[in-house]
Each structure stands twice: as structure tokens, then as C-alpha cells.
Amino acid sequence: MRTESQVLRGQCALVTGGSRGIGLAIAQRLGALGARVAVCGRNAAALADAERSLRAAGIEATSFPADVSRLSEVARLVEQTTARLGDVEILVNNAGVGMFGAAHELSENDWDRVMDINLKGVFLCSRAVAPQMIRRGRGQIINISSLAGKNAFAGGGIYCASKWGLQGLTACMAEDLRGHNVRVSVICPGSVDTEFSPHAGKDPLKMLRAEDVAHAVEMLVTQAPGSFISEILLRPTRKP
């Protein structure tokens, strides 16, 4: 674990979808900055592995299984996190799913699954922690979106719709909460070399790494108190 900067010492960070890939990289980075970290996900075994790896790096960490699309599970997640680590001061809404194909060929279940995780989950988690942040007079909510929230492509109808919706939700929440000194930001990465989607035909060496997204999160949580970076568009140097 890095020790040269502990700017988040004592703060509680909750990362959804934190058992692997981008979410785990973000949890590791926040922990390295001194935060106490909680991660959630739907795979209990993967969560246990993630918690062990975080603790092995000297990070105060815990994990809780949760489906962020279910109100009761989100309420329990925030309650458990608060009881274990304190009020949530940093929320990273990273949990997401991808469903690709022509929109007219996909099912209602496909639509519901993507929207429930990618959009409803952000709404539920943010709503659950916002009262804590308002009461404390500070906080940071970071939503992990995608350049698919900016660009259309064949086969991306449902996924793009969820991410375009996330852009709008983030912007409106930012206006709702900025008067309470709570910053709401969105990060839109391009193709990241994880197991999330197949990336057929793309060169992994030309893609973003999970650590690149974690670095963008670090930029947001360490910015000066009087500034507000609302959106980060993150692209690889070379097109994959």
C-alpha cells in the first residue's frame, strides 16, 4: 500500500461492484489514500477474495453481498457499512452490466436488467447515502459511466440508453446537492481491458486499464475544496 499520501485518512468509502476489475482497482486506490473501504457485489466468493486482497495491502476493508437494484439490499448495505466503518463520505457507483445487440432483437428482461443495475442502482445507492452527506456538510458521489453515454454505436441501444440516462441523473444530482457541499461527478471511460465485455478485435495494449479509472477517481477525491470537476472523459492514448 502506498503511504506517501493519506489524504483520505479516516474517511469511509463505499464502492459498488467492487469485487474485481475497475471497482477493485478503485477500492485499492482509495484505501491507499487512507480511506476505510467497503465493497459490495453479488458474488460472495469474489467479494471475500477482494476483501482479503485489500486487507493484505494494509487497508481497513470490509465487504457485503448486495444487489444494488433492490431497495432492501441497498438499505442493508448502507446500514452495515455505516455500522462497521462510519458514515459514507465517498460513494463510487461502479456496479454495471452490459447487454449488447440490436435493440429490436433484445427482450424486456434484457432492458430491465441493464436499467435496474446501471441506472436504478445508482439512484438507490445515492439516495441512501445522501442524507448522511447532507448532515455532515460534505461528501462525494462518483458515478462510473462510459463513453457510450456520449456516443451511439450499433448494438449498443440498451447499454447506451442506460449510460445516457446516467449522465442526466448525475448532472441533476450535482445541482441538487452542491448547495450542501456534496459533489456529484461522472467518469466516462472508453474501452477498459477487463472481463466486463468481450472487446473482440481490440488490442489490450491499446486499451485503458482499470488503474487508469482509479487514477481519475483519485483526481476527484483529492481536488481542492472550492473546486468541482463534474465530468471526466477518459480515453486511451491510441485507438484500440
Residue 205 contacts by C-beta under 8 Å, 6 or more apart in sequence?
none
Closest CA to 136 of 82, 78, 180, 90: 180
The C-alpha cell of 82 is what? 455505516
Beta strands in the chain (DSSP E): 12-16, 36-41, 61-65, 88-93, 139-144, 182-189, 231-234
Contact 162, 115 (CB under 8 A): yes
Distance CA 102, CA 187 (A): 26
Give, for 16, the enclosing helix (H) or strand (E): strand 12-16
159 catalytic? Reply is: yes
From the list 183, 181, 201, the residue with the least C-alpha distance to 191 is: 201
Catalytic residue among 159, 164, 174, 192: 159
**Active site members:** 159
